[in-house]
Structure 1
């Protein structure tokens, strides 16, 4: 089988042969014509086969089933659905809200509590000056293209390129050489300039997906939502595009709360807003979404971290910038080795990569579908030292979920320069030291104010912040060349020999001031939610007796007890049990026990069979089910079983019988990972579960909740 380009050329050439035979008036039954038409048909079939992507993503197959569960059970739905919906906005229903809250609770425990972070809550509307200073007003852009004939159809240019590269990589006819080329372009898609991106779209013949029309050249589109502040509308604001800036603005006050000790971290969870060009993929790309961010402040040049020893053994799947540029696959390396050999810039960054890996595994992300991708030099922010993304494979491909960046001191520096507020840390010196300090000569300082106007203070602050050797080198360069360009917080200024005149003074210092660097893990909570759902979903075997068209998909969300929206379900065996006073007293006792321990639960006392109720709560991800049967309320043969219930585990379909008074504490211990299901099974007698056995065998009906019989004349108990 040739490449697609070769096969396309062959089909065209054979088509020319057939057309030539027709022009010569060859009849259809002429042997030469028959052979030519057959060859053309065979070539077209070969091209069609070569054009079919080979799907290796395991989550694609079950995505439709999961979407049905998520919508039908109201984990989430498109917002404003009764008005037709608006792209990029979603509403979380009761189970979805509970699952998301549990993921956030796990995040707070894993990071805020275990890392002893400070947590703040900042407004979601920010004034123009803040985001102008941070660079968002000028630089928070994506490249957009439009359909040249239908200008209401917009697309994000890099995503079109990524999708085309992913399609080509999956084609059976793709050669190894082409696979490497496509992989490189896939990896670099969001780091291309608009000119490079436009050239790639043309190179691969990428058209508007919906119409097949040509596309415009890429152009910049700012992703922030503008909003006026106040009744006059004169104060310009924006819905915040990230939660990080609120932390930087409050660094000074948080540092005071931490007694000005370094290092320390500040966290914030909240909504952020981005006016996405083409939101798609469900919760993956929204216009309103939840972020959880940490800014961990450290001393520049001293990013060793004692706690790194606790994670250095972790073996992490990595995609370094070096292997990406070669089009090679990811590799596994211990964090300690990656820091030692310079793959990861420093111990503090490596520590948080390890902690992110542990957290994602904890909430239900499968490690074999998780990797850490290093930013390419061309896509890294100019102020960043090193950046890694935790990427999770889901049905839409590899999804960037957490960014872990060494942002150096950029944000604090630019906000300090703009506001004239000191945002530095102070380090006491054990032994006073005499140092050379750079200051501007009086005449040169006055000239800076005259020539650079309001920017003069920034330029002077930059120059006086130079090290002595840097100041002297700049002075020499300007003397030799007459002028030089300097970069101040991303802005460029040209200084002359009259501006660059320094007085180098000696001072005795007992302390040293510095602007902290920051390590920033930034989490997309909605994307983690998506990954947890996709990685936990599976379907039980179908009933072999069912006809193919009538087969029921028995979906299960295998969520861990820690994040499941409801930890337990209370179920009477049938409505005769639910009407019994003993049952009602037992249900009340269970409710109080769960409420006292803060355990979210449900009661399902509907008229459906017990098997169907098990199945529909498996679909919600409920890990444990408590069934009150006839033995429980004294209507069975064995009176020793009065006030006992069965506790059933979702994934193993096994159950034990225990006193009702033990249930709430047992469930709590399982949730807190203080007991495993195997340990519970050893502590209590296991009983047969006819309904669960039927579900496991593919029979979704079932009437019984345990091996105990119903009273004479009643329904089946098992």
Structure 2
């Protein structure tokens, strides 16, 4: 007898049907199938590529265009120093456990989450994960061998490559699109006229060498991100919450997750900020922007929430982070992360590079301040340090700015290439001077909404999947929002007839001229053609019949997907009418 939850079994059955439909109807399928396929890589077929593109366009319209943000397109391969600076080479790890019998590698935290009551094993330290595996006597999911005494290790997810031939420079495929924005900040700030706040968006591929990719396009090794990096002055810039304060949200804060009887909270953005549930107003603003957007592209709001990261699962750069999550198969999956990255990224790149990552903040009035300066005696430094003399100057300037007390004795110590050097203070030209300044250079902080496009596509499809019965026949259809549906309208000549087909061709041309995506289908009976379009989620079908060409007024039958209701509409103005429906300016019921 199975102890599985019937609701979960039903959801899993839906996922199985969806994956089969996706392959059969050209949404997505495993790549390189002719060679046996490869885990974690998927190809989006004609329908999937169109749906994905529509989702990306909708994201661009809301988070780039409507917010007045820039968009860039950076390379997917970047040199090693970028990721040394960002911390990815040291901290971008997942927990790996390898079966001693079959040598299958598995993510240890997923193994725990799938087989115990622990929901967020990713936030646990490795020793605790090992203890849980031993306590529950967990086994290899592939061969069933015991894993109780097997060590859990960190596995870095970066894909390494080489740039150039011969003694090539090491590089990596980017694990996120964000670094492509951060490293170009010195130039991007110029495009923003050095005025904070400003935002930079990017939609593109990212790569993570997942230990155990699973659940079709939910967890893959190559995926698409849509990210916004919003640069702010942490002392002076505040968001205008008035436009989002009334947005209703379901929140699952860390305090509730850590409570034995904790539960989700139903509230509004404004109330969550005033009550301290969301402490960062910028994060709250973007949660308020994202909620109606997710609704508009077809995520079921009854299966959607924002969950705050626990302290142990936050990324190394995040001061606070909330995930947008959608429910799939009885489980919550991450759709986006909304993080306050502070000045971590810009400070790291400023430290490791030779460029300036600050923005000049103008004072309301000039201020007189004391500044520690150095003017080293180069006739002393040159013979003493040779080619390293300029590095000594830089070290002295940094030390004077950071700790002027270091110059209070007769000598001062500096570190140069892991060696400590002692210099006479009189040779450094150290002085404290009064200066009148118009402003100061500051490191902006970064607020980051980061969206996973592939996961969102899967969620939209899963939440749109429907089964019903029409005229005694079972029907499967996708209740996709018109804004993102791969095809908006199908056009059918009722029969293979030259006059009907000519009229249908004219209608197709008129609809496409109006900017609508159209498919033409003259194969099989009309009922089968309707079913095909229902199954791929096409909102409307237009049928050209003999009434169209015989009656004085040229009309066609327009069928709506969800209700299967049909209406007779004139061909004149049809394209404009359907375009108005797609834009949300007109309802089919109003016709």
Normalised by the length of structure 2, the TM-score is: 0.89
Q: CA deviation at 1:338?
A: 1.7
Among 291, 308, 314, which residue is 2:225 paired with?
Answer: 291
Among 369, 376, 380, which residue is 2:303 paired with?
Answer: 369
- In the other structure, the counterpart of 1:564 is 485
Q: How does 1:365-404 map to 2 (within 5 A)?
A: 365-395=299-329, 397-404=331-338
- Structure-2 separation of matches of 1:494 and 1:55: 67
Indicate yes or no: 2:538 matched with 1:605: no
SS in 1 for 2:321: strand
Indicate yes or no: 2:240 matched with 1:322: no
Q: Deviations over 1:112-165 (max 9, x none)?
A: 1100110101111111111111111111111100112111x0100111111113
Among 621, 624, 630, which residue is 2:540 paired with?
Answer: 624
SS in 2 for 1:668: helix
Q: 1:438 to 1:663 in 2, by over 3 A?
A: farther
Among 285, 294, 299, which residue is 1:360 paired with?
Answer: 294
Q: 1:159 to 1:94 in 2, by over 3 A?
A: same
Q: CA deviation at 1:378?
A: 2.0
Q: CA deviation at 1:640?
A: 3.5
Q: 1:86 to 1:455 in 2, by over 3 A?
A: farther
The worse-fitting range, judged by mean Cα deviation, of 343-352 and 643-652 is 343-352
SS in 1 for 2:342: coil
- Structure-1 separation of matches of 2:59 and 2:376: 53
- How many equivalent pairs are there? 570
Q: CA deviation at 1:361?
A: 0.9
Q: Deviations over 1:462-515 (max 9, x none)?
A: 76666xxxx69x99xxx9xxxxxxxxxxxx99999x99x997654321112101
Higher Rg of the two aligned structures: 1
- Structure-1 separation of matches of 2:568 and 2:184: 54
Among 156, 161, 171, which residue is 2:112 paired with?
Answer: 161
- Structure-2 separation of matches of 1:338 and 1:209: 41
Q: 1:457 to 1:416 in 2, by over 3 A?
A: farther
Among 234, 239, 243, which residue is 1:305 paired with?
Answer: 239
SS in 2 for 1:393: strand
SS in 2 for 1:656: strand
Q: 1:465 to 1:100 in 2, by over 3 A?
A: farther
- In the other structure, the counterpart of 2:580 is 669
Q: Deviations over 1:610-647 (max 9, x none)?
A: 1111111100100000011111121xxxx344x21011
Residues 281 and 396 of structure 1 are in contact (CA less than 8 Å); yes or no, is this contact kept in structure 2? Answer: no
Indicate yes or no: 2:161 matched with 1:240: no
Q: Deviations over 1:264-315 (max 9, x none)?
A: 1000111111111001100011111111111000002334112x21001112
Q: How does 1:19-98 map to 2 (within 5 A)?
A: 51-53=3-5, 55-56=7-8, 59-98=11-50
Q: 1:494 to 1:375 in 2, by over 3 A?
A: farther
- In the other structure, the counterpart of 2:415 is none
Unaligned runs of 5+ in 2: 410-417
Indicate yes or no: 2:466 matched with 1:538: yes
Residues 317 and 345 of structure 2 are in contact (CA less than 8 Å); yes or no, is this contact kept in structure 1? Answer: no
Indicate yes or no: 2:368 matched with 1:434: yes
Indicate yes or no: 2:129 matched with 1:194: no
Q: CA deviation at 1:342?
A: 2.5
Residues 249 and 415 of structure 1 are in contact (CA less than 8 Å); yes or no, is this contact kept in structure 2? Answer: yes
- Structure-2 separation of matches of 1:277 and 1:528: 21
- Structure-1 separation of matches of 2:201 and 2:508: 35
- Structure-2 separation of matches of 1:379 and 1:454: 43
State the structure with bigger RCO (CA 8 A, min sep 6), 1 or 2.
2
Q: Deviations over 1:191-211 (max 9, x none)?
A: 222222111211222111122
Among 490, 506, 510, which residue is 1:593 paired with?
Answer: 510
Residues 105 and 211 of structure 2 are in contact (CA less than 8 Å); yes or no, is this contact kept in structure 1? Answer: yes
- In the other structure, the counterpart of 1:650 is 561
Q: How does 1:172-211 map to 2 (within 5 A)?
A: 182=117, 185-187=118-120, 189-211=121-143
Q: Deviations over 1:241-275 (max 9, x none)?
A: 11000001111222111211111100011111111
Residues 59 and 534 of structure 1 are in contact (CA less than 8 Å); yes or no, is this contact kept in structure 2? Answer: no
Q: CA deviation at 1:435?
A: 3.1
- In the other structure, the counterpart of 1:112 is 64
Q: 1:603 to 1:493 in 2, by over 3 A?
A: farther
- Structure-2 separation of matches of 1:108 and 1:665: 25
Q: 1:465 to 1:349 in 2, by over 3 A?
A: farther
Residues 318 and 340 of structure 2 are in contact (CA less than 8 Å); yes or no, is this contact kept in structure 1? Answer: yes
The worse-fitting range, judged by mean Cα deviation, of 516-525 and 197-206 is 197-206
Indicate yes or no: 2:513 matched with 1:580: no
Among 121, 125, 133, which residue is 2:73 paired with?
Answer: 121
Q: Deviations over 1:518-540 (max 9, x none)?
A: 00011110000000000001001
Q: CA deviation at 1:584?
A: 3.4
Q: Deviations over 1:638-673 (max 9, x none)?
A: x344x2101111111112111112221111111111
SS in 2 for 1:302: coil
SS in 2 for 1:343: coil
SS in 2 for 1:627: strand
- Structure-1 separation of matches of 2:480 and 2:395: 55
Normalised by the length of structure 1, the TM-score is: 0.74
- Structure-2 separation of matches of 1:631 and 1:520: 56
SS in 2 for 1:59: helix
SS in 1 for 2:60: helix
- Structure-1 separation of matches of 2:289 and 2:348: 29
- In the other structure, the counterpart of 1:43 is none
- As a proportion of its length, which structure holds more helix? 1
Residues 537 and 555 of structure 1 are in contact (CA less than 8 Å); yes or no, is this contact kept in structure 2? Answer: yes
Q: How does 1:408-487 map to 2 (within 5 A)?
A: 408-437=342-371
Q: Deviations over 1:513-570 (max 9, x none)?
A: 10100000111100000000000010013776xxxxxxx7521000011100000000
- In the other structure, the counterpart of 1:513 is 441
- Structure-2 separation of matches of 1:516 and 1:233: 37
Q: 1:65 to 1:415 in 2, by over 3 A?
A: same
Residues 304 and 346 of structure 1 are in contact (CA less than 8 Å); yes or no, is this contact kept in structure 2? Answer: no
Unaligned runs of 5+ in 1: 1-47, 166-181, 480-491, 545-551, 681-718
Q: CA deviation at 1:60?
A: 2.7
RMSD of the alignment, in Å? 3.2
The worse-fitting range, judged by mean Cα deviation, of 285-294 and 395-404 is 395-404
